[in-house]
Amino acid sequence: MNISEKYDKMTTGIISGLLAPILTALIVFLFSKGNPSLQTWLNRIADADIITHMISLCVLPNLLLFLLFNRFDMLRASRGVLGITIFWAVIVFAVKILR
C-alpha cells in the first residue's frame, strides 16, 4: 500500500479542508500590522466589514489541496476537500445575507 492509497479517504480531505483555512487565518493574524491581540484583530475585521473577504481568502488554499489530491489521483480526498469548500461557501453566503 503506497502513501496515496493510504490517505485517499474522504476524512483526510475533510480534515485538511477544515485545517487549511484555519492555518491560513492564523498566518494572516501573525503577520498583521501592529501586533494586535486576537480579539482586537477579529474586532478590526468585523468593524471593517470584511468578514466574508477574510473567509474567502482563507479558503483559497483548499483549491491547492484539491488540485494536489487530484494530481495524485486521490479522488476520495479531493471529494472531501470539495465538500468542505462548498460548506465554507455556504457560510460566506449566510454571513453575507445576515449582515
Half-sphere exposure of 42 (CA within 13 A, CB side): 4
The band of 3, judged by pLDDT with boundaries at 50, 70 and 90, is: confident
The Cα 43–Cα 41 span in angstroms is 5
Split into its structural domains, the chain has a count of 1
Q: What is the pLDDT of residues 35-46, one digit of tens each?
A: 889 999 999 999
pTM as predicted: 0.86
Residue 4 scores a pLDDT above 80 = no
Per the structure, the complete domain to which residue 47 belongs is given by: 3-98
Residues 6 or more apart in contact with residue 30 via CB below 8 angstroms: none
